[in-house]
A and B are shown apart, each in its own frame.
Chain A
Amino acid sequence: MVAHYDAPMPTHLEAHHSRALGLAPDAGRPAVVLRGVTRRFSRPRAAPLTALDEITFTVGHGEIVAIVGPSGAGKTTLLELVCRLQEPDHGEVTADAAALMPQRDLLLPWLDTLDNAGLALRIAGRSRPAARREAAALLEVLGLAGFEQVRPDQLSGGMRQRVAFARTLLSGRPLLCLDEPFGALDAITRMELQSWLARALAREPRTVLLVTHDVEEAIVLADRLLILSPRPGRLVAEFRIDAPRPRSRTDPALVALRARVLEALR
């Protein structure tokens, strides 16, 4: 069985875009603060590799920030620092509790969609029926109804990423760290999922730190773009995107912005 994932959302909800909804600013502290963060990896018989060099930026509550950079720019390291999976060698990281969504969906093959989506709830000690109920409610909101009792091997790659995103949302963490979430998908599915994610975030607003090497993805989704240079990873440019949502890929302003971003990536 191949999943068919055409799941349009009601248009009145697409129009209802208010990202700050339900996200009380936490005593004025931003959701993410990095100050002079440096991360080095020691290598056998070679000088240590500086993955990130003096990175400083903040992410406000409810903001969607995309970190754009080529492979090897330390993007994943940056996310793992924010998610506390690594510690910086220098500098300071403070961040809200974060949930990580990796490039690989990492769904558990023995669980169906509801159990996979509700994994964080089960880990938090919720009963299985309660976790499944909550997962089912979210899947409905995200337009994923109809695949509740299907195992991952019966889902398409795009559908699996949507379930992985639902799992990330159900962690209940205010901050989502998305690590090239659609990097493993084909170009057409990737575009579909980018639009889907934009709608999903409109309905379930969160603070998002998105890491990607896909400039268009960043422009379609983010409020702000941070450009990371490779080896050592340094922030070299920043772009603010005020275009209204839902965004069109063919919007001339965004197309022009894309050219500027690509220029900065050179």
Chain B
Amino acid sequence: MRASPPAVIVPVLRALAAPGRMRRPALLRESARRVVPALAPLGLIAVLLGAWELYVRLGSVDPLILPPPTAVARSLFDDRGLLWSNFTVTAGEALGGIGLALIAALALAMAIHFSRSLRLAVYPLLIASQAIPLVLLAPLLSAWLGFGLAPKLVIVVLVSFFPILVATLDALAATDPDLLKLVATLGATRWQAFVRVEAPNALPGLFTGARVAVVFALIGAFLGEWSGASRGLGVLVEQAIPQLQTARAAAAVTLLAGFALLLFGALGLLERRLLPWTTAATS
């Protein structure tokens, strides 16, 4: 899987790391092997940003419609106080909502796992609920629940609940039947089989669902703010665009995207830490 360094880069790295006659090709190859894959995503981002900057600078589009990356970066720095205070609101809504979604999804996953009739009754409703356009629902919720935290939490729970539930249910159902047979011969009750085998076995699925859900949760929080709030990145963007402060709007979105990456990565780290057996086979 690991990519070997592109042939063009190797002599350059060699020249940089081994000045004069001192040469340690083995060590160098090793460090190149480690560094190059880590640089790959940064390199891609640099190329994309460069192309974007160039595209705007060459006058292909009005910078008020598409601000160049340098303008976004300047806004990220200049508006840092404003961005941060609104970011904490949005992040709080997203994290609070995902926490609620986690509890609700786990409780419902267990209930559905134990009751086939509950699965038949609830699943169609859940799937249907996912098809409701949020842009339609968000203003309704604001009218109904006010402009406070509640409607945002409801939206975040609605969007992040489903991926967690589905991934957890699938993982619960995917338990090796031979394992269940084995603990049955050891005298396990249905509940013991769940606690000792099915639940730990489903944890990787729960993490997969949670990783998808955090990204949805941020969009949900943003959308909730968009349709009525006093603070948050959604409000900031909503106000910035009519004022033609598109760089600030783009800075807010950049912050949101960065936070999504951070949460996604943190969940991956947490999974490796808490469930070392899932990654052991490949390490």
**A residues adjacent to B (C-beta < 8 A):** 83, 85, 98-100, 102, 104, 106, 108-110, 119-120, 122-124, 151-154, 171
Contact = CB atoms under 8 A, between A and B. Distances in A.
Contacts of A110: 200, 275, 277
Contacts of B276: 151
B181 interface: yes
B277 A123 contact: no
Contacts of B188: 123
Interface string B170-192: 00000010110111111110001
20 contacts: A85-B185, A100-B181, A100-B185, A102-B178, A106-B179, A108-B179, A108-B197, A108-B200, A109-B277, A110-B277, A119-B183, A119-B196, A120-B186, A122-B196, A123-B187, A123-B188, A151-B280, A152-B277, A153-B281, A171-B186
Given A106-B178, A153-B277, 18 more contacts: A83-B185, A100-B181, A100-B182, A100-B185, A102-B182, A104-B178, A106-B182, A108-B179, A108-B200, A109-B277, A110-B277, A119-B186, A122-B196, A123-B183, A123-B188, A124-B187, A151-B276, A151-B277
A153 B278 CA distance: 10
Contacts of B281: 153
B132 to A, nearest CB: 38
A99 B196 contact: no
Interface of B: 176, 178-179, 181-188, 192, 196-197, 200, 275-278, 280-281
4 closest Cβ contacts across the A-B interface? A109-B277, A120-B186, A153-B280, A100-B185
Nearest to B279: A153
Contacts of A171: 185-187
B185 A108 contact: no
A108 B192 CA distance: 14
A114 B187 CA distance: 19
B219 to A, nearest CB: 33
Given A110-B277, A154-B280, A123 B181 contact: no
Nearest to A152: B277
Contacts of B186: 99, 119-120, 123, 171
B24 to A, nearest CB: 30
Contacts of A153: 277, 280-281
Nearest to B180: A106
Nearest to B186: A120
Nearest to A106: B182
A99 B187 CA distance: 9
